Amino acid sequence: MPIARRGLVLVLSSPSGAGKTTIARGLLASEPDLSLSVSATTRAPRAGEVDGRDYRFVSRETFAHMVEQDAFLEHAEVHGNRYGTMRSAVESVLARGADVLLDIDWQGANQVRRAMDGDVASVFVLPPSLPELERRLFARAADSEGAIRRRLSNALGEMDHWDEYDYVVVNENAEAALQQVRTILHAERLRRRRRVGLRDFVRQLKG
């Protein structure tokens, strides 16, 4: 009989170009008990997006009210739209013993740590070298060189937050980095304090 566990919040951050998104996709594809939570946003739905599945689409007034009610683990404004991770959405996943992946920046990570009283596992992904980071940023997009330079400069600033995280993974190779994050996830699931069914298990064991 499996031992009941409380799910965990896995926070994954990195400077842009370090390969976090590839790792997040790989994790979600290979870990059935790990999912994203549906975020709330003030931006308009795009074609094909379904309310409650892709996002919870809300007005600016509703969003502001939710912030006041402490309904978010973290929230941010990006290009004039507000996005937030809903506490209720995350809690319902954790309560059924599954894990939530939060793909957020260091500012969001700080908010989540505070909101969860530190009960998260946080991983920071670093690129293996500066030339490789430049290569990835240039390879990625049809952006102007100026835009890429700005992205690189931002990435270098974001990098300074590596020492706020529980774990650091250097992404030299996408498959190896994915495996390292998976190892962290699997070990964190074995933490005693998350295995809430252990007390009953030991009681039964002792007869």
Provide the minimum distance between the beta carbon of 114 and its own copies in the complex, in angstroms, as a whole number.
19
Query: 18 in helix, strand or coil?
Result: coil
Closest distance between its own copies and the C-beta of residue 31, in Å? 14
Q: In what order do the strands lie in the sheet with 55-57?
A: 55-57, 39-41, 81-86, 72-78
C-beta of 60 vs 135, nearer to its own copies: 135
Q: Which C-beta is closer to its own copies: that of 28 or that of 198?
A: 198
Write down the residue that tokens 């941010």 correspond to. Answer: 76
| Interaction site with its own copies (CB under 8 A) | 3, 124, 126-127, 129-130, 133, 156, 159-160, 162-163, 165-170, 180, 183-184, 186-188, 190-192, 195, 198-199, 201-202, 205-207
Contacts of 44 (CB under 8 A, 6+ apart): 57
**Residue 18 near residue 161 (C-beta atoms within 8 A):** no
d(CA 115, CA 75): 11
Answer whether 121's CB lies under 8 Å from 114's CB. Answer: no
The nearer residue to its own copies, 111 or 180, going by C-beta atoms, is 180
Q: How far is the CB of 101 from its own copies (least distance, A)?
A: 16
Nearer to its own copies, 22 or 128 (CB): 128
**Minimum distance of its own copies from residue 183's CB (angstroms):** 5
